[in-house]
A = this chain, B = another copy of it.
Amino acid sequence: MTTQELIEQIHKKRSFLCIGLDVDLHKIPKYLLEEDDPIFTFNKAIIDSTHHLCVAYKPNTAFYEAYGLKGWKALEKTIKYLNNNHPEIFTIADAKRGDIGNTSSMYAKAFFEDLAFDSVTVAPYMGKDSVEPFLAFKDKHTIMLALTSNQGAFDFQTKQVEGQEFYKQVLKTSKTWENSQNLMYVVGATKAEYLAEIRQIIPDSFLLVPGVGAQGGNLQEVCKYGMNKNVGLLINSSRGIIYASNQENYAEAAAHKAEELQQQMAIELKRHFE
């Protein structure tokens, strides 16, 4: 999917919501465990009830790998269901991969070709040749960790490197890589004030912003500092939406939560674009 197609979807649906499909079998309705594939059954119901309210879905691979072969199969079925039924949806494999060049190429093949995701998240620690194999794919997007929303972000990401925070060094350096136009960045919403400075470094890039729900970020603040002329934001919510209820009404309850966020997003889009 091209960036332009993503932007069009955002304006059409008046939403820049990404729903995280992080399925934990301990948290979904108990009666689903009797299904042949409870993870996919749950995802399908969530997708069916929310796809008109969001522009992206983001399964985190950890939740699938934890269930071994069955989990990987559920991931395959989920991405196939999305690609077949909702090709307008932007799909994100939240995998946080990164390895030496020839190995990163195998990961890129796994997520862009075999599973056919539109994008994958990657970690920057190993530098240029660990990320460029992902960037080489046309109309695919590589979402690099910059400033994450967890407490551990302060261990290294905000340390001073050559007179600025390390994550800014990561942002600046990444702009020099080949096909850097295919980069997006993960920036946690728990630090909305940082977004203004981040936008000075990467004015045009899309940011994937976790942490607006469970992790405490504020949507209006994030939009104030982070929105650009292309919108430039995908706001992720996972647990806050998919675990809104663990009863039979779980898909409806998820849609209700998603709609609350979508409506706030519509207000923000109106504020910035009308």
The interface of chain A, by Cβ under 8 A from chain B, is: 22, 24, 60, 62-63, 65-69, 71-73, 76, 94, 96-101, 103-104, 106-107, 109-111, 114-115, 123-131, 145, 148-157, 159-162, 166, 169-170, 173
Contact = CB atoms under 8 A, between A and B. Distances in A.
B66 A106 contact: yes
A62 B107 contact: yes
A152 B126 contact: yes
B169 A152 contact: no
Contact of A65 (B96, B107, B129, B153): B107
Contacts of A148: 100, 125-126
Contacts of A161: 159-161, 166
Contact of A66 (B114, B128, B156): B114
Contact of A128 (B24, B76, B155): B155
18 contacts: A60-B106, A62-B103, A62-B106, A66-B114, A68-B110, A69-B69, A100-B148, A101-B150, A124-B125, A125-B148, A126-B152, A127-B154, A127-B155, A127-B157, A130-B152, A160-B162, A161-B166, A166-B166
A81 to B, nearest CB: 16
Contacts of A131: 152
Q: Kindly name the residue among A22, A130, A152 whose own CB sees the greatest number of chain B CB atoms within 10 A.
A: A152
Nearest to A73: B69
A129 B150 contact: yes
Given A103-B60, A161-B159, A126 B153 contact: yes
